[in-house]
Chains A and B, each alone.
Chain A
Amino acid sequence: QVQLMQSGTEVKKPGASVKISCKASGYMFTSYQMHWVRQAPGQGLEWVGVIIPSGGKTYYAQNFQGRVTMTRDTSTNTIYMELSSLKSEDTAVYYCAKETGAFEYWGQGTLVTVSS
């Protein structure tokens, strides 16, 4: 069965960077686009960007361009998201999601807290 296992909670100071991971299993990793979506406390969902695992091509939401980098490792079926120049407003749960028409499978989420 499809499983997306994300890395654990992160606490960072403003201005720092964070890199979180999402390890996929149960399907052909290179065949499906993978997205990152975040959710601030008590707020709605916000799309961060997508990576195409087969070639590594990425597309980022305009709000994150210049601050986000998505990568993948096909040897371990893992995708990564690095967000730099962190601000308090980046405090959120970050989810990875496998796309099959839409966001069909989700990771459990990684809480990133940005606080001085």
Chain B
Amino acid sequence: QAGLTQPPSVSKGLRQTATLTCTGNSNNVGNEGAAWLQQHQGHPPKLLSYRNNNRPSGISERFSASRSGNTASLTITGLQPEDETDYYCSAWDSSLSAWVFGGGTKLTVL
């Protein structure tokens, strides 16, 4: 089934700001927005935000999400070495009646 589109990789410098994107359509991202997950190797994913910019308790304010049309974005400010890992977006697709994921973006902190 159709998924969301994420760039495979993004590289930014230490203490810089990275913006990751996630493109879908009007049935998913453009409808209820996207959720963002962070996953370190060998660990389950961790929810960073949902429905565009609701952060679960304990998630740093350095992570903020937004949406413009059918594209969602995750902005990470003040990049730290521990931010270097994989990030996934996800959204409910009302036409598929299914949750769909992006292929993931590997963030490298230089």
Contact = CB atoms under 8 A, between A and B. Distances in A.
Interface of A: 35, 44-47, 50, 59, 61-63, 95, 100-104, 106-109
Contact of A59 (B45, B56, B97): B97
Interface in B19-41: 35, 37
Nearest to B35: A102
Interface size range of chain B in the complex: 20 to 34
B32 to A, nearest CB: 10
20 contacts: A35-B99, A44-B103, A45-B88, A45-B90, A47-B90, A47-B99, A50-B99, A59-B97, A61-B98, A62-B96, A63-B1, A101-B50, A101-B54, A102-B35, A102-B47, A102-B50, A102-B51, A102-B90, A104-B47, A109-B44
A63 B99 CA distance: 12
Contacts of B56: 100, 104
B37 A103 contact: yes
Given A101-B50, A102-B50, A102-B51, A47 B45 contact: no
Residue from B37, B47, B56, B104 with most neighbouring chain A CB atoms (10 Å): B47
Contacts of A108: 44
A86 B66 CA distance: 39
B101 A46 contact: yes
A47 B100 contact: yes
A30 B45 CA distance: 23
Given A102-B50, A103-B90, 10 more contacts: A50-B99, A59-B98, A61-B98, A62-B1, A63-B1, A101-B51, A103-B35, A104-B50, A104-B56, A108-B44
